[in-house]
Amino acid sequence: MRTQLYIDGQWVDGSGTLEVIDPSDGSVIANVATSSDEQNLAALAAADRVAADWAKVAPRVRGEILRKAFEIMTAEAESIAELISRENGKAMPDARGEVAYAAEFFRWFSEEAVRTTGDFRLSPSGDKRILVTHQPIGVSLLITPWNFPAGMATRKIGPAVAAGCTMILKPAGETPLTALAIVDILERAGLPKGVLNVILPAQTGPAISKLLHDSRLKNLSFTGSTAVGKILLREAADQVIRCSMELGGNAPFVVLDDANIEEAVKGLMLAKMRNGGAACTAANRIYVARSIGDKFIAEFAKAMAAMKMGVGREAGITLGASVSMKERNKIAELVEGAKARGAKVHTGATTPEGEGAFYPATVIEVPASDEILVNEVFGPVAPIVLFDTDEEALKMANDTEYGLISYVYSEDLKRAIRFAEGIEAGMVGINRGMLSDPAAPFGGVKQSGLGREGGFDGIHEFLQTKYIGVEI
């Protein structure tokens, strides 16, 4: 298990340490090194020093490094999944799914490294040739969250390596061990010294601010809350650093009156309970046509009640712990508030006694005005609202500052597409409860972010377009 910082191709001790806690029982897993201001700047200096040489490395070579990393990660999937489960709390089925998802970004971008196209053509005026090419943007700061410590790291590292950028990775303090394991994999895959550096500042805000005000940094890729994203955007503005922002979500899940109830329940279980509900893509506002409401709620509550909660690494567990007691208590407070306002409880909604950051799979029925619907609940809580018309459902679905992902279920494809086209979101799942795919663009609109990760678009977050006019 790696616990040191990784700077300029060396594993080094930090200026202090941070306890990594197993949220299922509160035990200390490891003490991970934290970085000083000097070490943060050393990481930046290392990335800057090798940036020009790394940018010149052939795309095929960069792609082969990523392919090797994919192979190593796949071979060691079970041990990485166990590490994720220990520091994050999630159940092993979710952890295994995350490892497979994360590894796929290495494979996808190993293929995309050699497929960055340009343009060469005669200008309309006929006086020159227009040459358009794409070049690495330069040193990039990657900031990743705790809920998908592997997936969010590879989703950024993969395209950065493929594009020819050097990097500084700042993982979440709750889940640094997974990020360090991935860096170890890349080192073994042959990634040159200085290309990827890992820091874990003792004081995150001031440290990141200092990096963002350094002219050597050219690019920021952040996944996290909208509130923090806005702060980073303001900080990045001084140096006009390009920013990719994957921010909050508060996804609506709309079940129209002609939906296949069995399939919609299956889809909602994926959309809501993947990762124990701790996902920006999680369905947090469930809108169900009133005519099928009773039947749908009964079937969904039955499925939720069947979730087996416990320590994520134990056999048969499908719902693990939240990442911390702090996060668990946030979930509990939101549910207790809804209950106090008259929410109807269909299952769950009771905070367990004893150790561990656990909260049960919960289904509550609330009015459209309830304030729990305004919050991005990062846990296994499903608030349901009944509606009468498609127009009413669409209005409620769009009544949010977020616009990351939405879901709609209907047996009428034309109706579903019309509904999807009216939803203000960067991604829409039609009769699907899981949408994320390394081969597809991931990102939102409104206050859910800027830019796209994955797909053909992801590599371009680490490339800048250059136009060259050629005299003829």
Query: Hey, which residues are catalytic here?
Result: 246, 280
- The two structure tokens encoding residue 26: 């509160």
Residue 249, CA distances (Å) to 264, 439, 459 in order: 21, 21, 23
What residues form DSSP beta bridges with 319? 309
Q: Which helix (H) or strand (E) holds 169?
A: strand 167-170
Angle at 350 between CA 344 and CA 356, to 5 degrees: 150
Residue 373, CA distances (Å) to 246, 337, 359, 364, 446 in order: 21, 12, 18, 11, 17
What distance in Å separates the CA atoms of residue 336 and residue 319, rounded to the nearest whole number?
20
DSSP, residue by residue, 325-368: HHHHHHHHHHHHHHHHTTPEEEE---PPPSSS-----EEEE--T
- The two structure tokens encoding residue 97: 């799914």
What distance in Å separates the CA atoms of residue 351 and residue 357, rounded to the nearest whole number?
10
What residues form DSSP beta bridges with 131? 120, 468
What residues form DSSP beta bridges with 251? 283
- The two structure tokens encoding residue 351: 């905070």
Q: Residues in the chain, how many?
A: 472
- The two structure tokens encoding residue 393: 């459902």
What distance in Å separates the CA atoms of residue 59 and residue 254, rounded to the nearest whole number?
43
What distance in Å separates the CA atoms of residue 440 and residue 209, rounded to the nearest whole number?
32
R_g over Cα of the chain:
23
- The two structure tokens encoding residue 32: 């991970």
- The two structure tokens encoding residue 168: 């500084």
Q: Is the torsion defined by CA of 98, 100, 101, 104 positive or negative?
A: positive
Q: Is 225 exposed, middle or buried (0-12, 13-18, 19+ CB in 10 A)?
A: middle
What distance in Å separates the CA atoms of residue 223 and residue 251, rounded to the nearest whole number?
17
